Structure 1
Amino acid sequence: MAGFGLQIKTRQELFTVEFQIYEQFELERKKKREHATARRRVPPPYISVKHTINETTLVVPDIKVFKKPEVKPSFVCAVTGRPARYRDPVTGLPYSTPFTFKIIRDKYHKYLKTITDNPEVTEYMKQFE
């Protein structure tokens, strides 16, 4: 406690100094918390009234209508039905685990083996033989 410039002689003085430091810390924390919870308010539209000799005109500004943000679609694994975190770049199917990725690729290669009349597919399948 000598770092604070205090000379403490008894244990009671030590506890009171520590309590004061802790109390100060808690007050600072409370102030930060109160400041963070302040709500922001949008000011209401400014309506003005114009008086002339013949008439009184009420000017109302255009009220902005904000669109709701679109909800990001959640994908479901094509194999297990669990929430998918990944997408296969070749097939575009969503998957959740590496094992389901292997299943998707295996089924994709089996499907490609059935296509024999396309030269691009046969050339692609030669890589895996």
Structure 2
Amino acid sequence: MKLFMGFLLVSGIGWILDLVSYITLTQVFGLPAAYGNFISSMIGVTYVWAVALKRVFNRGGANGFTFLPIYWGYQTLSGLAYSMLISFVIVELISFKVDQVVTLPAAVLAKLLVTPANLLTNFMFMAILTKFMSANADGKV
């Protein structure tokens, strides 16, 4: 539980980076939600990897760079899947006119709705992946 709480804190900051870039891409630049989600997600997950690897999972060094492409590969597949889910949720929100009741744009509301599942799957993957890595040599967390 302690690992998850640490990951939750780091991911919260990564999620803010993700959400701000998502809103900017979709609402300011008019990028379709699926594309905006993919790009913004990669910004957030790269931050989470860099910080959580050392601070939460006590892993890092050259090891971190070796496993980063694997994490990006997972995040690419995950990002595509969650982007498709977000697109589906947007259609449903509009069809049920939820976007008229809630003051958030449907694209932003859909992103908020899928975030908990995304957080959980990201934590599970990173926890498994870091099991294959050696601990930090300095032992600092």
> Which of the two has greater helix per residue?
2
If you compute each CA radius of gyration, which structure gives the higher value, 1 or 2? 1
> Which of the two has greater strand per residue?
1
- The two structures have a TM-score, normalised by structure 2, of 0.21
